[in-house]
Structure 1
Amino acid sequence: MPRLSVSIAFILALALTLLAFIVSDTTVLVALAAFSTLLPAKGIKKIYWVYIFLLVSLIGVFVNALMFANTGAPVLEFHGFTIRANAVEGFVRVTLRLLIIAGAGAWFIASYTPFEIARGLEKELGIPKGVSFAIAYAFRLIPLVARDLAEIQNVRRERGKRTIPLLPSDLASILTPLLRTGYERAVWTGISIELRGFSLRKIRREFKLVYR
């Protein structure tokens, strides 16, 4: 079955991401979020972790809305705390924007392998191979970081520590091994591709609309 070429898919995902920042009308944001969320429906098993990260991030979005935009008419009373209209509206808008970005990115990641992304961006859009490889490597790195985070949380759980960071010390003990592992992985990946002649590789430009 024909698929969109990497270049067309990349432009579509980038356009959706830009629209998420530009559009302010809530109705349009809802339509874009619905479209973007339905895009990766067939490959949802490959990118479910994107939506897990999204759900976790919504906690911070809601707290931020309560701290900086909790004004207007009262909407809900909870244990003596009043949630107001502007906080709810701000939370909804940011959530819709994140859904658009997450859906577009998840669809792009699920549709192509990192190798296809790197080659497609190089050959079809003329993006420098170092940049295209970095983009493809970032997509490849996200599930690896998710796996590393799960392993760190398992170790913390076995030691009787919190898996969800509540204090700066908790956050530091999670981020330090995560960043160290990611840094070493990136260094050795760079060494590996240079040993294989990455900087000497020639690229032939070729633009496609679809793949068969």
Structure 2
Amino acid sequence: MASGGGNGDGDKNQLKLYSYWRSSCSRRVRIALNLKGLKYENIAVNLVKGEHFSPEFLKLNPLGYVPVLVDGDIVLSDSFAIILYLEEKYPQHPLLPRDLQKRGINYQAASIVSSSIQPLQNLAILKYIEEKVGPNEQISWAEQHIEKGFAALEKLLKDYAGRYATGDEVFMADLFLAPQLDAATKRFNVNMTQFPLLSRLNEAYNEIPAFQDAMPQKQPDASPASTC
């Protein structure tokens, strides 16, 4: 594992984020940190090299997943839990709307991405599909589950979306949608013409500095051989 990210200043109380440049779960947290203006030290965990299975990392998260956030004596894994923690401790730039109905829609949209789409396209699952079914089945497997989730999100958000997922302000749902939409278009070649609302949101996210700075290719551990 390696440190990086340009935000380190030697402060032992500074936030530390263990992440992988291409991880959409890590990217959600990077966006949240950026939006809230929080400095953090990025500690790269190379998933391809299996660094998430090292004894050092497993002490932080026994599941062996990124991201992990360290805030003083508090250690949290899972992007959903981390973002909710950041929202409670660091109230600047709220990530949840005051309106309870819109807040519930944010939870639901984030959950669709984090539980019904992303886990079915992660490295471990795709490797399993390759080994058990065949190398040519990975993309079709991912496309099937991404499109199912996107169809649900189109219906869920149609009565709530404004410039962003649930209105004209960036909220939690947007943090989960942006990395997933980017992966769908760049990694899995999903035909987005069938999802006009999500396509519009994807364009809007690409204009926000906090989202741009969290992009995989801008991370210090990004592979020079890949741009997506």
Q: Under a length normalisation based on structure 1, what TM-score does the superposition of the two structures give? A: 0.31
Bigger RCO of structures 1 and 2 (CA < 8 A, at least 6 apart): 1
Structure 1 or 2: more helix by fraction: 1
Structure ID, larger Rg: 1
Q: Under a length normalisation based on structure 2, what TM-score does the superposition of the two structures give? A: 0.29
